Homo-oligomer: A and B are copies of this chain.
């Protein structure tokens, strides 16, 4: 017997048929002897519609009213799923954020969960009842409804799993797990049976968006085991598949991963642009002079490289989000007098390729394999940055697919 939180996203509850199908899946989980709580998103499209109403009335709408409006989507799904479960003979009831309560801070529209009172729900689960919790929402200190920001239902589910001391949080989504890379680029991409929290965070932040980043951070902090599953598998045998002993991907502490692969996956992102500030007098404080004004303008800077020439000047190269590029150029032009650079070059036609894996901590040679593999394909590396479990390079955007495929093969990730 295990205690499981099952979370179903918007496409999994998109219409009444899918809600019925979700009810069937929950029932089978109960029949396996588990205690189950469910977290649901709004039926797909509903949240966008409600957000659209608020924005049409006022671009600067009151976030408290926005929350009151938008949270209704999940309330509808939780009530409907409770009815669908009852129809199958399952004891179930819906819970809104304010009823549990799921206490959050007062940051409306982007609130953070602070405390969940789990005792009453545990009692009911022990009595055989399935709580069907409206995700994405909570109760603020002002006694009003809060929402957690887009994708917040993942975080609701993980937080609830922590509060209920659940053995696992199953996130049903429209993909069937986390892959070694984007299967659209590499058909031989392999679904991972397990992935460490840290790897998941790196993969998510570089473009493999399956779980909301905050939900992974929370899972890591609270040591909640998160299983990513497809809600569109066979209804009859949800836990069978030919590839793997596990039905999806389990996101866990790295200690739980016995046979660590050195590299878990290859991520890519085309969302960055490169900025180079050339011939800056090489003196103390030059980095602060460049990056201070950017930080003040809320431009996030990612990869940074500094190279010093023989003539007493230095070149600073870094990346910013493509959407921030125009602002970055404006800021740096305004600061030219302070920085005293010779010229500024920008390039939006770049891609960031990252090799991610907790196994790197104990294995040398990951970076050099990456550089050699790209060099063999005559792909020029423009910027390099590394962290404990990740090596990232910036290359020309036209080489994205070639680089991802070559690296996927070089690290032995291709499915046999």
Contacts and interface: CB of A to CB of B under 8 A. Distances in A.
A72 B69 CA distance: 8
What is the interface of chain A mostly: helix, strand, loop, or mixed? helix
Given A72-B72, A72-B75, A93 B64 contact: yes
Contacts of A83: 54, 57-58, 61-62, 65-66, 69
Interface residues of A, number: 35
B87 A78 contact: no
16 contacts: A16-B57, A54-B83, A62-B82, A62-B83, A62-B86, A62-B93, A65-B82, A65-B93, A66-B79, A68-B78, A68-B82, A69-B75, A69-B76, A69-B83, A72-B76, A75-B75
Contacts of A65: 79-80, 82-83, 86, 93-94
B16 A53 contact: yes
A50 B79 CA distance: 10
Nearest to A71: B75
A144 interface: yes
A56 interface: yes
A300 interface: no
A330 interface: no
**This chain's copy number in the assembly:** 2
- Most chain B Cβ neighbours within 10 Å, of A57, A82, A99, A145: A57
A184 interface: no
A98 interface: yes
Contact of A57 (B58, B61, B66, B87): B87
Interface of A: 16, 19-20, 50, 53-54, 56-58, 61-62, 64-66, 68-69, 72, 75-76, 78-80, 82-84, 86-87, 93-94, 96, 98-99, 143-145
Contacts of A96: 68, 145
A107 to B, nearest CB: 18
Nearest to A73: B72
A112 to B, nearest CB: 22
Nearest to A143: B99
